Amino acid sequence: MTQKPALIFLFLFGFVSCTWGQSSESASFQESFVRVSEENPYYFELSNGETYIPNGLNLCWAKDMDVMETYFRKLSENGGNFARIWLNYPQHEIELEYGKVDEANFSNLERILEMAVRYHIKLKLCIESFRMIAPEKGFFTKSQYHKENGGPFADMDDFINSELGHQAYLNRLSVLKSRFGDHPAIFGWELWNEMNAIESGGLRDWNDDMLPKVRELSPKNMVLQSLGSFDSNNPREDYRYINRLASNDVAQIHRYLDLGASLDICKGPMDLLASDAISELRSYGVNKPMLLAEVGGVKPKHTGPIEVYTADKEGMLFHDMLFAPFFSGAAGPGHAWHWDSYVDKNDLWYHIQRFGVAIKGIDPVKEKFVVSQMEHESLRIYVLSGTEHTLLWCRDIYNDWENELVNGVEPQILKGIELNLTSLTNHQRIKGIELYDPWTDKWTSANKSKHLKLPDFRRSLIVKVTN
């Protein structure tokens, strides 16, 4: 006899008919939904027409809800407007028993949505992250789905490659939707965390089927997918396939500084590995926003946070995680992992504010940026050339994590550096030049000359040219 999926979810609460604001020009940030820009599909906009740059990080869980609120508050106080949450972390998992809703955890999720509205933050909600179905409990195991624990599935393959498994996934999402309605605080629904790590085949077929169905369930929110850290050439074909699907709204990539990785780029400077991750997505020819959705440093093979975090009291790694992706063509800064053991522990939240200050007044939708790099003997210069502005992120090539955090080499003060901007401005007249030092949080003005002399700085400097 064919087993039918549990339907208890669908009748516990019904579907709440909620309208969260309007798509008018007058709608506030809290009332507006995030969508892919109609004018420039490489970036995001709000349904009120404003450009949206997701400036934030992963906040997937906290030890309790009060700690989670401190993260939201610190993020908001530093101009952050984005966070990612895992919905199947134990405190968030609404289905502690197969087919039954846990009210306490549902209340935790409702509180997170309330905090998102209060602190002006959009949430990427990651629906699932488990990798196996087995009788024993584990961080990446959904044991309540196993036959020995009251569930209907023998293993992960049974879940991924059966109609029963597909329906169980949609039932769970339907219950989440029944309580939240179409909520504008939801940046988008991410179907799975690093789905290519599951202990099952059928990755592509599952996404072919499920991405459109989730879109049908949630027409007002974006739908997207994620794959594991790009630390070898092995995941390239799956990355290309998943990110090019029309039903996947956002091209995402995960990458870490990892001395156990097979790709050498993952062992080098943070800005290079982050920039290269976006270049990888760009190589797929995707006509959609791109995000470095997880980035950080790990012990070999992801056995824990990298040891150099302890020495990185000034956040040189975090700075690079934020700036390198955006200045390489991403729709926002990189979204750091290790929010608790690195960002919060070292009190580095202010770097989120510094990124926001650096790009204040810049509308990437209208700029239609062209990405390039400018050669220099002592700097890596990342260039965004737009219709109204040209932005340069100048990064000291001798200041990297190994020199500063392992060998204890202090970042040098760079003096007397001159840049020739002629090739970047297409021989047009320069209307103005402003310089921002993200390490001192200070702006200065420069002469409107195509031969620009930079002020003294350490590590990095932003040049903003008005065309």
Residue 460 reports pLDDT greater than 90: yes
Q: Which residue has the higher pLDDT, 45 or 449?
A: 45
Terminal alpha carbon distance of the chain: 70
Burial class, 303, CB count within 10 angstroms (exposed 0-12 / middle 13-18 / buried 19+): exposed
State the pLDDT at residue 332. 98
- Report pLDDT for 9: 42
Q: Is the pLDDT of residue 242 over 60?
A: yes
Q: Delineate the domains of the chain, giving CATH numbers in brackets.
A: 8-365 (3.20.20.80), 371-466 (2.60.40.1180)
On the CB side of 220, how many CA atoms lie within 13 Å of its CA?
18
pLDDT at 447: 87
Provide mean pLDDT across the span 42-46: 98
- Residues 45-72 have a mean pLDDT of 97
How many helices (H) and strands (E) are present in the chain, helices listed first? 12, 20
Average pLDDT along the chain: 93
pLDDT value of position 8: 41
pLDDT > 90 fraction of the chain, expressed in percent and rounded: 88
Question: What is the spatial distance between Cα 64 and Cα 91, in angstroms, rounded to a whole number?
Answer: 8
Distance CA 422, CA 336 (A): 35
pLDDT digits (tens, 9 = 90+) for 253-308: 999 999 999 999 999 999 999 999 999 999 999 999 999 999 999 999 899 999 99
- Mean pLDDT along residues 143-166: 98
* Residues 182-194: tens digit of each pLDDT: 899 999 999 999 9
The stretch 352-380 carries a mean pLDDT of: 96
- Enter the pTM of the model: 0.94
Angle between helices 270-282 and 316-326 in degrees, nearest 10: 20
Confidence of residue 423 (pLDDT cuts 50, 70, 90): confident
Per residue in 4-25, pLDDT tens? 444 344 333 333 333 333 334 4
On whether the CB atoms of residues 78 and 350 are closer than 8 A, the answer is yes
Structure tokens at 147: 């036959």
Least confident of 16-20, 36-40, 412-416: 16-20
Q: Among the residues of 141-269, which ranges form H helices?
A: 156-160, 163-180, 203-217, 236-244
How many angstroms separate the CA atoms of 79 and 82, rounded?
10
* DSSP β-bridge partners for residue 291: 252
- For 194-210, how does the pLDDT look when each residue is reduced to its tens digit (9 = 90+)? 999 999 999 999 999 99
CA distance 27 to 21: 7
For residue range 80-114, what is the model confidence (pLDDT) as tens digits? 999 999 999 999 999 999 999 999 999 999 999 99
- What pLDDT, in 10s, does the model give residues 303-356? 999 999 999 999 999 999 999 999 999 999 999 999 999 999 999 999 999 999
In a 10 Å sphere around its CB, with 0-12 CB exposed, 13-18 middle and 19+ buried, how is residue 80 labelled? Answer: buried
Q: What is the pLDDT of residue 26?
A: 62
In the predicted model, what is the mean pLDDT of residues 416-435?
A: 86
Both tokens assigned to 354? 């510094």
What pLDDT, on the 0 to 100 scale, is given for residue 422? 86
| Range from 7-21, 33-47, 395-409 carrying the lowest mean pLDDT | 7-21
Q: How far apart are CA 108 and CA 113, in angstroms?
A: 9
Q: What is the pLDDT of residue 427?
A: 61
Residue with tokens 């990185």: 312
